[in-house]
Structure 1
């Protein structure tokens, strides 16, 4: 049985279709004091539940814990938790003395209600070690090749930095042709950062900028502007997690992006492909 969180309803349905499992009915209500209660309809005889819930907000974290507990309370023996996007995953260390390792705290909480966890492209793969149950990390970047036009002109796949070049390589390899490069960032001041492609020429080429997360969109929009200024024929963005905090989408559009392609780990209007097949392979 697939149990979708409110932030992962389309992915839950896609995963149910991919695996042939039933899709649970989930209801939500709020008490007068504002507290949430999520309840799950669990048919008799169900012994395994797959909870699928992106934790994009604090409320989504609470909802995930409740969904886990609800299926346990209904008598389900085995719970697998799929976290398509893990909120707080980028706080994988204490940045200053006295600050928490928030990813660890969140992982420990999730671990209490499940037998296993599946993460999709966490920003730092090391967060898997914070879980107290077995944790499988899957990469979905290759799925982003599917919605790209088949006739890209001399395509170039760019990652935001050298450390993320494997994402660009995954999309390029799935697409079947093209070059891979990465951006170099030079910080001139606390607010001024220069972003340039490291080696590859971009003039007259179709460029796809690949990242795991687009959050504020600041670096991505600057990258798009640089590429357009250097004569790229077309600049599109492919990202696994379209978080799009505040005015991120507007920044990308103002910078001149031609298209944005994303997966359904976070369900947005730019979702172009599902990670359901990738997740189904490890369930």
Structure 2
């Protein structure tokens, strides 16, 4: 049975359809003192698949409650799917005395799960913080689906050399194009110069791929550089479209043709579902 966190209702419904499994209806409430309550009034079956992106502190608590609720209702196995793992980028201590937050939340989630899946974690090593080790689901290839069919001599760009696999995955799924990455040169403590490393983008369509877009500041600067180099159209694709505050406006003002994200974080730009990729791992 599929159990949805409040932030992942569309994805949970898509996964239920792909797997042809029933979808239960949890309830989400808040007590007068601010404490949350996530419950599962109706549950049947041996396995519970809890689908919950941890996009906020409340979402983390909600996930723990849903895991406990289905176990209390008689689930023999609890599979926890974390489409977007909050705190996943805090995989190391920033300085002495700081926590490794990704490890802290992973340990908490592990206590209520028999198995954990998470989609395209920013740092794959965070999977090792779970017990047992979480499975990383690669859904980047899904980002090729909403792209126009006839891109003009496309170039697929990743945000840095370490993320070229993202660009390659989307390019391979699309079926044509070159790949490249942005080089970041720090000029001062606050100034970073961004430019494509090698490829000529003049008159060509460019697809910028990333795992997470949060504020959109770095991405909009990158788009500005592409415009200066005579790019034709720029499309932005990302697995986790957080797009906090005015990120969408920044990118649109920079001249982006379209932004495509998945439903790991449910936003207006979530034009493709990761449900098939998750289903393949279940």
Partner of 1:176: 175
Offset, 1:151: 0.4
Aligned equivalents of 1:75, 1:47: Cα separation in 2:
7
Matched, 1:23 2:23: yes
Offset, 1:118: 0.2
Offset, 1:192: 1.2
- Could you report, residue by residue, the CA deviation over 1:42-92 in whole angstroms, capped at 9, with x for unpaired residues? 344x11000000001000000000000000111111000000000000000
SS in 2 for 1:119: strand
Aligned equivalents of 1:136, 1:29: Cα separation in 2:
30
Partner of 1:90: 89
SS in 2 for 1:97: coil
Matched, 1:63 2:62: yes
Aligned equivalents of 1:199, 1:268: Cα separation in 2:
33
- Equivalent residue pairs, number: 282
Partner of 1:187: 186
Name structure 1 gaps, 5 residues minimum.
none
Aligned equivalents of 1:159, 1:90: Cα separation in 2:
18
Matched, 1:281 2:280: yes
SS in 2 for 1:126: helix
Aligned equivalents of 1:161, 1:134: Cα separation in 2:
27
Stretch deviating more after TM superposition (9-18 or 125-134): 125-134
Partner of 1:13: 13
Partner of 1:81: 80
Offset, 1:249: 1.3
Q: How does 1:1-283 map to 2 (within 5 A)?
A: 1-44=1-44, 46-283=45-282
Aligned equivalents of 2:75, 2:223: Cα separation in 1:
48
Offset, 1:253: 1.1
Aligned equivalents of 1:269, 1:141: Cα separation in 2:
18
Could you say what the CA RMSD is over the residues aligned between the two structures, in angstroms? 0.8
Aligned equivalents of 1:248, 1:189: Cα separation in 2:
24
> For the Cα contact (< 8 Å) 2:43–2:70, is it kept in 1?
no
